[in-house]
Amino acid sequence: MKFGHFNDQNREYVITTPETPYPWINYLGSQDFFSIISHTGGGYSFYRDARLRRITRYRYNNSTLDDNGKFFYINDNGDVWNPGWKPVKKALDFYECRHGLGYTKISGQRNGILAEVLNFVPLNFNGEIQQVTLKNVGTSCKDIKLFSYVEFCLWNAWDDMTNFQRTFSIGRAETVGSTILHFTDYKDRRNHFAFYSVNAAIDGFDCDKESFMGLHNGPHEPIAVLEGKARNSVAFGWSPIAAHQINLKLNPGESKTFNFILGYVEYPDKEKFTADGKINLTKVSAMQSRFQSPESVSEAMRELREFWDDLLMVFQVKTDDPRTDRIVNIWNQYQCMITFNMSRSASYFESGIGRGMGFRDSSQDLLGFVHQIPQRARERLLDIAATQLPDGGAYHQYQPLTKHGNYEVGGNFYDDPLWLICGVVAYLKETGDFEILKESVPFDNNPSDRASLFEHLKRSFYHVVNHLGPHKLPLIGRADWNDCMNLNIFNADPDQSFQTGALKTDMQTAESLMIAGAFVLYGQEFVELCEFLKKNDEADAAGKYIAEMIESIDQFGWDGEWFLRAYDAQGNKVGSHENEEGRIFIESQGFCCMAEIGKTDGRLQKALDSVKKYLDTKYGIVLQNPAYTKYHIELGEISTYIPGYKENAGIFCHNNPWIMIAETKLGRGDLAFDYWRKICPAYLEEISELHRTEPYVYAQMIAGKDAHQPGEAKNSWLTGTAAWNFLAISQYILGIRPQFDGLLIDPCIPSEWCEFSVRRIFRGKVLNIIVKNPTGVQKGIRRLKLNGKVLAGNLLQYSKLKPKNEIVAEMG
């Protein structure tokens, strides 16, 4: 069942009923100010850091889901309703939500009134614009009362939801004309405040939640709206809000438009107040003056569309399948950019409180957006490297506001260092900016302890070398990519976190085959980089350790039909046919096969055949099989999940692309694309009532075959799934893959594809690529032409590219 449709021309998903199976959201903002908005107007806003600079409140596990947001109420002679249906939920004569790239437009009509609300964050602007247009589409005159509503968060979202003895006594909000100021703590420690304004005279306002709602009323029945009269309240403690009242008359056919701004301003300490002691409002006035007219909003929207045009035009594919094209060209790349901005911090499944920017997460996310905005990828890499520790280890997370390591989470996730190599190499291949390797970057953000970025990569490589276990395989530490495989915790305390709890061993025994495969894969890329830089001694030394690791995997990591997953703290096998539960895992198959371990003797194919036999389902590849049915204290959190969900045999969409990429190494394009299609959201639109999450973006997890509801998705938007799937489809299935010295054309496609084309901008050069497949092969380039000249091999050397290039590749 579908709840809307794609509009590819406008690059929108159009939702046609408010009663979707879960809130379907969008993200607004591209730089510092961000908002999350659902299709009914729910969501929240923050500046840079969703924990430390939260602007509006959101209650995740509210008894009525998604009843916190930025809402507009219409009182039409006592008939109260919302343009987005919620929270009042009055039946609408017409409803539509258009989620576009960086904007959302919600329209609702009832009893002859059409209300349209356009939400977006303009470029270079620390605020959200909400343009409200009310039109009388009936035959009689209408007297309407329009109410706006937001509820402020007292900045630190964790403190706001826990420390009520304080927060109930510090909240401050009051009006200046049509502007409501939220200046809690401003007179004390803070140099920032928020405001909510409208470009019109108001007929009333409220700054105190209880006055506006009524003590025993909720967002679906605010007493001020029901009675059609704001209380003109000022917030002194309790819960500050911002609500405007505007009374207006509309003749038949007449419309009126209002521009609301939810904004954030910040001053140096000496400029917080004017000479007479009042709050400095100069920045507020400047922001308001920019958006006084409807035309100013239209111009900002034009600039926003051009911004996304420029980003998406770097890679565009044309196939015979519109579902493939819309995901690759629009939604997957859009999701990659959103995930770059947010990491795993703020969604409808991530509260914005518990997680900052992940060292591993952000390094992987770079794979999906580096081609779009390389200058910000550069900045992100240097931020990540600065949280690395002197021994090559790393903080697992850092806070985006401070860019310092998150001490609460700490480190000792022993896969983390390798992801820095992964991200930097991807950046270098995309940009050719080898000067970044000379950048002086601190360790642990300590300016007195610095080294070149290349030295950071070297320490990442040798962190693995210096942390090997009894089988000469990499130690796992707290965990590897699978944060829920906690082989050194032994946690019997239900109140203790698996990831941050005390370690019960010295971490010198439990080993990870996933890290082993990643070490070979990214170690080889480190060696390739050293060779390209003419650092031959470094390359030779590193190459010997990679050869030793392959030997250890061959000797201790092969289980007969697949690669082992790990050895636990007692030295017992994990992911073996000897195990009763969890015999085969996806992670070690993915990384060892991407690294092409066992390719010459058939083990690579045998491992991937085992994935197909034991892990594949109609909805994607499950993480392991069989699922765990009891708690294994020696394995940790993985065995605490209900069978079929999350890491316990759920379909973890993040690691499915590892198998897709591995299949392309064998030339099995039919199978690689089949795996890609199974978890691609555009192909799941028809089963939205089962899938539940948005049909335009990837989810982290789909319930596996052991689950109560197989095929049901959770945790959409912020997931490494976005970057890895774009990498799999663009670089390995379509096969347009950057190298240090050029662009490799190496497709591995379904045999039924006869032709496809790609427009690719690579280091400022435009490439129009046509790939022809006249004989229906899955892999192999028979002939490659660059601007009419036949090339030897399938590498387009950058030095031979013109400003604009025509490439024809013939498979065979």
Mode of pairing for the β-strands spanning 804-811 and 573-574: unpaired
Strand, helix or coil for residue 683: helix
- Asked if residue 702 lies in contact with residue 644, where contact means CB atoms within 8 angstroms, the answer is no
Rg of the chain (C-alpha set)? 28
Beta strands in 334-433 (DSSP E): 357-358, 397-398
Cα torsion at 100, 156, 225, 261 (round to 10°)?
-50
The pair of three-digit structure tokens given for residue 196, joined into one six-digit string:
């909510």
Phi and psi for 3 in degrees, rounded to 5?
Answer: -115, 15
CB-count exposure of residue 14 (10 Å: 0-12, 13-18, 19+): middle
User: Which residues, other chains included, contact 15 with Cβ-Cβ below 8 Å and sequence gap of 6+?
Assistant: 3, 4, 24, 39, 96, 97, 98, 99
Write 547-550 long-range contacts (CB < 8 A, 24+).
Answer: 548/472, 549/472, 549/473, 549/474, 549/516, 549/519, 549/520, 549/523, 550/520, 550/597
In angstroms, the Cα distances linking 371 to 438, 467, 486, 719 are: 21, 34, 35, 18
- Asked if residue 42 lies in contact with residue 23, where contact means CB atoms within 8 angstroms, the answer is yes
- Asked if residue 253 lies in contact with residue 153, where contact means CB atoms within 8 angstroms, the answer is no
Mode of pairing for the β-strands spanning 127-136 and 113-120: antiparallel
DSSP bridge partners of 113: 110, 136
User: Which residues, other chains included, contact 410 with Cβ-Cβ below 8 Å and sequence gap of 6+?
Assistant: 395, 396, 500
Q: What is the spatial distance between Cα 477 and Cα 579, in angstroms, rounded to a whole number?
A: 22
Q: What is the spatial distance between Cα 559 and Cα 582, in angstroms, rounded to a whole number?
A: 13
The pair of three-digit structure tokens given for residue 356, joined into one six-digit string:
């900052």
What count of other Cβ atoms lies within 10 Å of the Cβ of residue 289?
A: 10
* Catalytic residue selected from 206, 361, 383, 483: 483
What count of other Cβ atoms lies within 10 Å of the Cβ of residue 240?
A: 31
Q: How far apart, in Å, do the first and last CA atoms of the chain sit? A: 41
Q: In the block, which residue shows the tokens 């609460």? A: 408
Q: Is-catalytic flag, 483?
A: yes
Q: What is the spatial distance between Cα 665 and Cα 598, in angstroms, rounded to a whole number?
A: 12
DSSP states along 20-61: -SS--EEEE-SSSEEEEEETTSBEEEEES-TTTTEEE---TT
The pair of three-digit structure tokens given for residue 626, joined into one six-digit string:
């069989």
- Asked if residue 669 lies in contact with residue 782, where contact means CB atoms within 8 angstroms, the answer is no
Taking Cα atoms as reference points, which of 100, 86, 69 lies closest to residue 6?
A: 100
What count of other Cβ atoms lies within 10 Å of the Cβ of residue 353?
A: 20
CB-count exposure of residue 216 (10 Å: 0-12, 13-18, 19+): exposed
Q: What is the spatial distance between Cα 686 and Cα 481, in angstroms, rounded to a whole number?
A: 32
What count of other Cβ atoms lies within 10 Å of the Cβ of residue 808?
A: 18
Cα torsion at 232, 233, 234, 235 (round to 10°)?
-150
Taking Cα atoms as reference points, which of 755, 746, 748, 752 lies closest to residue 793?
A: 746
Beta strands in 336-383 (DSSP E): 357-358
Could you say which DSSP state residue 122 is in?
-
Active-site positions read 483
